[in-house]
Amino acid sequence: MKPHPYFKKPKIGRPRASGAGPWTVPDLCAAYQWPTSAPGGSTIAIVELGGGWTSADMAAYFTSIGQPPPSIIDVSVDGTKNTPGGEADGEVALDIQVAAAAYYAATNRAATVRVYWAQDIAAGVRAATKDGCDVCSISWGADEAQWGADAAKDMEAAAQEALAAGMIVFAASGDNDSSDGGPTAANVDLPAGCPSIVGCGGTTKTRSSEAVWNDQPGSANGDGSGGGYSTIFAMPTRQSANGAPSGPGRMVPDVAANADPNTGYQIYYGGGPQVVGGTSAVAPLYAGLFASLGQKLGSASFLDKLWQSATCFADVTAGDNGQYHAQVGPDPCTGLGAPIGGKIDGAFASSAAAPAAAPGEGAPMSPTILTLAEAIAAAQSRIPSTFLTGSMARRLVAQGLTQGWPKGTS
């Protein structure tokens, strides 16, 4: 089994829908209503099985979008190293640039990215877990049948270990529609098909609409969002209890975002600007967002909470990936749907414990005890969300508590 990268270039001559065209990452984040003052502080891990990046390309890209470059640290897991000059360079550039730019858009801070070079995805995830990373993005994969049960279960074990250590793993669902390039019309891609990984599907997002990405509607084996049902892993209760259509196993993907190369991402590699798409872009986009929300958000219950948070995603109800069609609610084309960044921020951002109020002049003698969660709930119930995002509430309320706010203060 040899996983391959999931990035695609636009097809020459393919007509564009009205309002279509490539996105810069900051513009796409704005369209997805990203938070802008998230706490950040997390480390992003990216697993790469080949290719490489150059400092010149990174500097040119981040200058082009008006952001400082991230701190990029290469980690060799098994002797594999950053080796620019090959076809997979587009994958590496896409992963780093999208994850770091998405993180900066949400925090106004440069990201810290650790790139794990390996020949085995599970080994890369385990190394990132050991190093204490907070999120992990994987844009390589292969048809479930090519993995086999033993390798698939080892990949799932690595993802479970990551969640237990607080690290969330995101993986691309594949770029060959429901067939995933396999012998039948419905094959799930791994590692996205592992139950403990967030599978990331693809859409075609214009400035006015969003639908399932499929370059050849009705075809199960073209360029489009991978998705379907696992034949190795059973459907988790969190999916069946929250509206996922019944199927033979775990439904893929969980979430989705823009992936069509025709509405793709403006990046930079090989010494020049490029436009690239694919579900490869979706995993790092979500990794950058969740990294912005705080450290160690992963847990055994994280995926249950994700599936209980359908209101944090815009349902995608148009299009198909061949075997499966979009519908109202979750489906095996785009999962829960596309991100609504501000709502995800409100539901998932970490609440750091507020420091104790220092005694001093003007402090109340006997303040009523008020938890940070109570104060945030009170603030958000009184101030419209259009004015106060979840991360802003946490920051402002924490500052207020240090000044000795008593319960009931406006």
Whole-number Å distance between alpha carbons of 134 and 176 = 29
Catalytically annotated residue among 91, 177, 260, 315: 91
- 95 catalytic? Reply is yes
CA distances (Å), origin 384, targets 139, 169, 275, 370, 398 = 37, 32, 38, 22, 19
Catalytically annotated residue among 57, 89, 95, 215: 95
Catalytically annotated residue among 178, 280, 292, 391: 280
- 309 catalytic? Reply is no
Residue whose entry in the numeric block shows the structure tokens 């990132």: 128
- 280 catalytic? Reply is yes
Q: List active site positions.
A: 91, 95, 280
